[in-house]
Amino acid sequence: MTLRAHFRENLILALPVMLSNLGHVLMGVTDTMMVGHLGAESLAAAGLALVVFNVFMLFGIGVSFAMTPLVAAAHGAGDNTTIAAVLRHGLVVNMLNALVLVGVVSIGKHALYYMGQSNAVIAQALPFLDIVAWSLVPIMIFQTFKQFAEGMSNTRVALIVMVAANALNVLLNYVFIYGHYGMPALGLTGAAWATFTSRVFMALAMAALVYALPFFRGFRAGFGTGAYSRPLFRRLLGIGIPSGVQFIFEAAAFDFSLVMMGWFGARVQAAHQIALNLASLSYMTTAGLGAAATVRVGYYLGRGDGINMRRATYTLIAMAMAFMSICAVIFVVFHEVLPTWYVRDANVVPLAATLLIIAGVFQLSDGMQVVCASALRGLQDVKIPSLFIFLSYWAIGLPLGYWLGFRAGVGPVGIWWGLVVGLTLTATALFIRLRWAMRRIP
């Protein structure tokens, strides 16, 4: 295939995932904007609750990502029996994982008391977390069918579901947070109920579409309870657990940065939440290109075609760099305007605007690392990349951010410069690893 053909195929695969991921983030952005009108304290409480929740949610999502390279490789090899088996085994792994994670979040919520946060913020965060924790079950059901469909190079179904779920979430936020159509105003708790209900809808709709659509008809055996294979469970866990750990290392780094920002006070924490929420829009959108990298690399791995694998991957990296360059310009040029979409607090907006400039600086590194990590996942290479991510953030980036913020007197901005260093080191290490790994495929 020519580079132009690869660009076209990448875009066909990635665009629905980019929009779907954007929809996933917009659900959080919508919650944040609507909660922001309740005040900085409620906004800080939502951010603090998500510190605990997001770590475990992203671990679960990372485990579910193991399905995609296995389905894509089987698709490339024309092995429909294995494709159905991966769906069947993936359902078991992801449902059991979801139940375990709900229990862990329910216990782990008490860690909020030991994070140096104000009691007023914690008092609002705990009820929010109690409700959102149970949304892990529908999230993992949705992820099972989403990753299966993506492995089959069908990325449009999840987009349809996500658009509908976002519309539902906005409506339910309006009803539950502020109290409309006869409902009492539930405030922050209302946002949690809106999110939970929307995610239940996502799970049911995604499962129903995959079961009903003719495109997937030949794989309905994956919905059954046929014979299970211990080696296939091991393969799913062997890829899934390191992938989940990758997500934890990165997400927990950003979540811990929120905790450190909270040591400066609720308004600083709220500014951090706004800037990070906006930065997540570009990250999750570029993650659509990463999803395409996993699918295309896995597919060509199954076919044993290293030449087209490399062409597809380098085209995706170029696309990510172009998109993130645009995002960087937007963050820098409109850094004073974007935070006002969330709050009007004069003590919050200026710091959020400064942090957005730093977010603009790390856009290219963020785009590089997400595509490279995803391509390595398509090669089923996940253990060494997990080590790179851990060292970059936890051995270098976060300690540097702490030193700059609290020892060198730089303040909250110093914590973000530590994140910039961690992201840049991660991107560099993963790119070098990816080039080495792809050269081994003839």
Write down the pLDDT at residue 224. Answer: 62
Task: Please give the average per-residue pLDDT across 286-310, as a whole number.
Answer: 92
| Two structure tokens written together for 107 | 């216990």
pLDDT, tens digit, for every residue of 100-142?
999 998 887 777 777 677 777 888 788 888 899 999 999 999 9
Q: 331 near 363, Cβ under 8 Å?
A: yes
pLDDT, tens digit, for every residue of 20-39?
777 776 676 677 777 777 77
Q: 209 near 151, Cβ under 8 Å?
A: no
> What is the overall mean pLDDT for the chain?
88
- Enumerate helices (H) and strands (E) in the chain, giving the number of each: 16, 0
In angstroms, the CA 240 to CA 190 distance is 33
pTM of the predicted structure, to 2 decimals: 0.83
Extents of the domains making up the chain: 3-439
Write down the pLDDT at residue 52. Answer: 78
The per-residue b/e assignment along 260-295, b for 16 or more CB within 10 angstroms, e otherwise, is bbbbbebbbbbbbbbbbbbbbbbbbbbbbbbbbbbb
- DSSP for 56-107, please give it: HHHHHHHHHTTHHHHHHHHHHHT-HHHHHHHHHHHHHHHHHHHHHHHHHHHH
In angstroms, the CA 20 to CA 284 distance is 9
Amino acid symbol at 136? L
- Taking CA atoms, 389 is separated from 132, 288, 386, in Å, by 27, 20, 5
Local structure of residue 31 (DSSP, 8 states): H
Please tell me whether residue 263 adopts helix, strand or coil conformation: coil
Closest CA to 289 of 254, 318, 309, 311: 318
In 245-306, which ranges are E strands? none
Write down the pLDDT at residue 434. Answer: 97
Q: 298 near 76, Cβ under 8 Å?
A: yes
Summarize the chain as % helix, strand, coil (round to 5).
85, 0, 15
Which of residues 93 and 5 earns the better pLDDT score?
A: 93
In angstroms, the CA 76 to CA 22 distance is 28
Closest CA to 145 of 215, 198, 196: 215
**Burial environment of residue 228 by CB neighbours within 10 A (0 to 12, 13 to 18, 19 or more):** exposed
- CA dihedral sign, ordered 180, 204, 131, 56: negative
pLDDT, tens digit, for every residue of 247-257?
889 888 987 89
pLDDT, tens digit, for every residue of 157-208?
998 998 899 889 889 988 888 877 877 777 788 888 998 999 999 999 999 9
pLDDT-above-90 percentage for the chain? 52
Q: 261 near 404, Cβ under 8 Å?
A: no
